Chains A and B, each alone.
Chain A
Amino acid sequence: MYITITNSDLLVGFEPRVHMLASGMWVEKYRPQTLSEVVNQTEIIGSLEALIKDPTDMPHLLFSGSAGVGKTTTALCIARQILGEYVRDYTLELNASDERGIGMVREKVKKFSRYAGMADVPFKIIILDEADEMTADAQTALRRIIEDTARYCRFILIANNISKIIDPIQSRCATFKFTSIPQDDVINHLESIAKKEKVKADKKGIQAIYDYSEGDLRHAINLLQATASLGAVTEEHVRASAGLTKTTDVDEVLKIALAGKITDAREKMIELIKVYGMSESDFLKYLNSAVFKSKHEKLSDILEVIAKYDYRILVGANPEIQLSALLAELGKIES
């Protein structure tokens, strides 16, 4: 399997181009292409199918739910089902966490929505993923954008945390809450992928993957593929592949900060953020779950400290200074 990236025009600098699809990765290869293939989420799928029977009436949609439960997949399926062969040209996919500010979103939406659809489609579709990464101010601006383009475009907004979406936007959308996928469904899905890929997988191995990925199907499938690269999917091989993710590094940051090694903790955190590009809000998200996992005796003190600095970042302070101060304060807790 190949993933090919070239950077042909070397004088332009770092702008790699992909020649072949990322289909070497199983998460992508086994992404459902139609609503009926989506695992679980039956109620949501049922009502969405009804909603798009007559697409002209389709409202804006807002999907919420944790990672890897099928939100983006469902949005893509809807776009494909409504737009048919024109899906490429008439869908704009944005990820708020990678766009630099609302200005960028506005520019792209403006450009995309400029002309009415030429082909036989009811409207163009704008999928805005991780919309809860946008500040309240940006969301207010987004509301304006949604209004200005309503004639030709429908938005599908996606968020992990619906409470971070401002009311005026929620009220403009039909909202769907995705639940995490039950154990049996995850296991069946993993087994069927293993079968298609002709890898041996025993029950315990698959179970270990589920335990490790906790209902996040993207994580589960990635882990399955990584495990399979060692041979059969056994509990032992799962254990050898699990723990590779950068969330483990966040666990580590917490551990060394609590041990009072602040400088080390800080350099590691900055490496995650500035070398790898983990977003500050993701860092805080994983830090929070690291705290819960740690079952630390001063758990609530720790969470309070994190909340304090999370808030300061939210009101517009400089994340690097705030996160450094956060780690320094964690360094005092055990002493």
Chain B
Amino acid sequence: MWSEKHRPQNVSDMIGNEESRAAIMEWFAKWKKGTKPILLVGPPGIGKTTIAYLTAKQFGYDMIGLNASDVRSKSRINEILSPVLGNVSVLGTPMIFVDEVDGIHGRGDYGGAEALIQILKEPTVPIVLAANSDSSEKMKSIKKVVKTIYFKPIPPRLLRVYLQNILKKEAAKLSPGSLIKVIDKSHGDIRSMINLAQSFVTGFNPQTEQSFESVNVEDGINAFFKAKSLDEARSVLYSMQIDPRQKIDAFYSSVITSNLDNHTFSDLLNILSKADVLYGKIMRTQNWRLLRYLNEILIKLYKNDERIRYSQYNLSWPLLNRIRWDGRKIKAFSLLMAKKLHLSSSAFVTICLPYLLFCVKNKTLEVVLDTEFDDIIEKEIELLK
């Protein structure tokens, strides 16, 4: 991943936000017991985490890093930080970095923020916080006890110089048009610019025999369904020089999220299903030759239908979040219980878990879990029918 590979090694290698960077350096240089902690606020991918790590290194601190999920409850904060704050010198020269502080949340779980504020009020070691936004109530109370330093999106001219530098190191080329597009699309977010540039460079092959210009996924899918003729659609399809898996998935998520009647919907999905079967076969047999038929299956998706537009995600946000947060916990829990009960986690979750929760609800069974799991058990009990 380019964005990791090219993470600056020195504060002076960073670009943009010169004044903010200087302010941080000065704060570190002058730091003594009692100096107000600093809070770095700014949009993603502009170097907040990077500068925290670099300055820690430069000023010889041992960084104790936390993020939002560690800072959820008072006991947890104290558990992690009391040895640091209690001057146990085995830890070297510690400092504390709390990333994503604006992510501290949880119903009624104010204990975490309060405990943090208590610590911020009497800092015995340097404390740096970072956040994307400082507008929530919780952030407002944190801001009262820290010095806030703002980071702004990086201006295009700096981005351009920086990107060209990376491209040079990677011996990669990007057409002037793509360069502008990449810079423009990143909205001042360096990480996203680098990621985008990398996907542009590796995503398609410049010396293709096709005469038409390559297009990216989003433009490609939209142009495909806007095409006035089958031929036009075909040329768009062939110019989408991306990984076949990505191509199928992009069509899939775009179709899934479009508002179509059931018949059209089912027909399109059936075509995608066939394309996907072919891809599966190719992967299994390693007969790459067969790839040339993939586009000929996908072309059957064509219809001039503006209802179908590109979509990156094929699930609603609530469900995506539930998969990401609840799903992880449920799976960790059920994998473990499944082992105890000598069955697969799928069978556990289907047959046993609901009954177990029911017994817990009726207080004939008690599940004593780490606090990390408390909320999920409660939530699932509420969801029982």
List residues of A whose CB falls within 8 A of some B CB.
1-8, 10-11, 14-16, 18, 21-22, 24-25, 27-28, 31, 67, 72-73, 76, 93, 95, 97-98, 129-130, 133, 218-219, 222-223, 225-226, 228-230, 241, 243-248, 260, 262, 266-267, 270-271, 274-279, 282, 286, 309, 312, 315-318, 321-322, 324-325, 328-329, 331-332, 335
Contact = CB atoms under 8 A, between A and B. Distances in A.
Contact of A27 (B76, B327, B334, B341): B341
A5 B367 CA distance: 8
A95 B76 contact: no
B305 interface: no
B199 interface: no
Contact of B349 (A3, A218, A225, A276): A276
A244 to B, nearest CB: 4
Interface string B278-304: 011101100000000000000000000
B341 A309 contact: no
Interface string B336-356: 111111111111011111111
Given A7-B373, A229-B358, A318-B280, 12 more contacts: A4-B367, A22-B341, A25-B365, A28-B341, A95-B344, A95-B345, A223-B355, A228-B364, A241-B358, A276-B330, A277-B334, A316-B281
A5 B373 contact: yes
A251 B369 CA distance: 31
Nearest to B259: A263
Nearest to B79: A10
Interface of B, secondary structure class, is helix
A230 B362 contact: yes
Nearest to B364: A229
Given A93-B342, A328-B266, A24 B365 contact: yes
Contacts of B332: 14-16
Q: Bin the interface of chain B by size.
A: 35 or more
Contacts of A7: 369-370, 372-373
Contacts of A275: 319, 322-323, 326-327, 330
A-B CB proximity, top 7 nearest: A316-B280, A229-B362, A22-B340, A7-B370, A325-B269, A328-B266, A325-B273
A98 B346 CA distance: 8
A219 B352 CA distance: 8
6 contacts: A4-B369, A10-B76, A16-B370, A226-B358, A322-B276, A331-B265
A222 B315 CA distance: 33
B352 A3 contact: no
Given A5-B336, A11-B70, A244-B354, A95 B343 contact: yes
Contacts of A266: 256
Nearest to B329: A14
B277 A315 contact: yes
Contacts of B316: 267
A27 B338 CA distance: 12
Contact of B369 (A6, A31, A76, A329): A6
B337 A22 contact: yes
